[in-house]
Amino acid sequence: MLRQTLPQVLRQTLPQVLRQTLPRVLRRTVPLALRLAHSRVLRQTLPQMFRRTVPVALRLAHSRVLRLMAPRAATPATWLTRRPPRLVVSRRRIGGWRGLLLSWLWLVSW
């Protein structure tokens, strides 16, 4: 009985939930994405001082996904393609689980 009713309940409630939450999510993420795109254009044209302020703005950005997509100190050409920089302390020197844990913590905190 539960197998039959659960999909029905989900079909009824999901559209309502999405209708309520999506506008809220979009209201937060779309302006942020626009701001990031705008800052990307400005980064290509404005002097070095601006290159220092954009990473700060990115760190303050609410969306973690966008923060991870746009690396901190990226050059304009490699804005979304550059991988995050490697750990200063190599994993070989730390070794094993501690190295993995440290690198994971570094990625999460970044």
10-residue stretch averages of pLDDT, the chain, 110 residues long: 59 65 63 64 55 59 53 49 53 61 71
**What ranges do the domains of the chain cover?**
2-79, 83-110
Q: In this structure, what token pair is assigned to residue 81? A: 């393609």
Give the DSSP H or E segment for 87: none
CA-nearest of 76, 5, 13 to 44 is 76
Kindly provide the b/e burial profile for residues 96-107, where b requires at least 16 CB atoms within 10 angstroms of the residue's own CB. Answer: eeebeeeeeeee
SS3 call for 89: coil
pTM of whole model > 0.85?
Answer: no
pLDDT for 107: 73
pLDDT for 26: 61
pLDDT for 101: 72
Sign for the pseudo-dihedral over CA of 61, 71, 30, 36: positive
pLDDT for 79: 47
pLDDT for 91: 46
